[in-house]
């Protein structure tokens, strides 16, 4: 399940699973969340994302999370999903990392289109898929997304988003429809 694959015109490399702690490998587990089937639950205490299934089961994925001060918690909804997304770093990120200036987004005057950003591809920080988290009808600017940095799974190093191995985010993307509920909690301690 972590072998090299062709997807969207790109060859995703195989993931060296022997270098990832076994607890972060995708697996079906007993559901520890108590949430309704179809709910995504991000357990930030343990670096897991659960997709709740019927009959007390859940698909569990290892994730990388935001470092201190860059995390988000709460209930929301996956408003939309995108394959091989463009990356538009927020202005605040560009202010902290001026080397990202080339990727600043600009709205095309008089339209709802944007230009700029980083083109999709293997080096794009959003990876192969992105699921966009909204709360109360507003974009939180937090995403569940793939990452070329598979070694970051199980750690807190991002600017707040939920990172997944590209092969895992493709699997999740195919299982989750738009409008799916999501719960991200920093106080959980699921087993």
Ranges of each domain in the chain:
5-85+120-185
How confident is the model over 85-107, as a mean pLDDT? Answer: 85
Residue 92, helix vs strand vs coil = helix
Look up the pTM and report it.
0.89
**Separation of alpha carbons 101 and 71, rounded Å:** 23
pLDDT at 191 (0 to 100): 47
Task: Give 179's contacts (C-beta < 8 A, 6+ positions apart).
Answer: 77, 78, 79
pLDDT digits (tens, 9 = 90+) for 162-191: 999 999 999 999 999 999 999 998 755 554
Q: CATH: 3.40.50.720, 3.40.1260.10, 2.40.440.10, 1.10.3720.10. Which one for 5-85+120-185? A: 2.40.440.10
User: Using 50, 70 and 90 to split pLDDT, how confident is the model at 66?
Assistant: confident
**Separation of alpha carbons 75 and 135, rounded Å:** 7
Give the pair of three-digit tokens for residue 47.
Answer: 């670096």
- The closest of 35, 63, 43, 32 to 149, measured between CA atoms, is 63
| 3-state secondary structure string across 12-23 | ECCCCHHHCCHH
pLDDT at 167 (0 to 100): 98
């Amino acid at each position: 399940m972590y072998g090299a694959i062709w997807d969207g015109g790109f060859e995703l490399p195989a993931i060296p699973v022997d270098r990832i702690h076994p607890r972060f490998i995708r697996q079906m587990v007993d559901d520890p969340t108590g949430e309704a089937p179809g709910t995504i639950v991000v357990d930030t205490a343990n670096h897991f994302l659960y997709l709740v299934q019927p009959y007390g089961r859940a698909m569990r994925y290892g994730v990388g999370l935001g470092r201190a001060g860059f995390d988000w918690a709460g209930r929301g909804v996956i408003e939309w999903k995108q394959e091989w997304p463009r990356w538009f770093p927020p202005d605040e990120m560009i202010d902290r990392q001026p080397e990202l200036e080339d990727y600043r987004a600009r709205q095309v005057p008089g339209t709802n289109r944007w230009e700029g950003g980083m083109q999709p591809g293997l080096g794009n920080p959003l990876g192969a898929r992105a699921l966009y988290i909204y709360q109360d009808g507003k974009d939180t600017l937090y995403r569940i997304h793939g990452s070329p940095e598979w070694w970051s799974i199980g750690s807190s190093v991002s600017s707040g988003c939920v990172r997944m191995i590209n092969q895992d985010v493709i699997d999740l993307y195919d299982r989750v429809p738009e409008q799916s509920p999501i719960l991200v909690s920093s106080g959980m301690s699921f087993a």
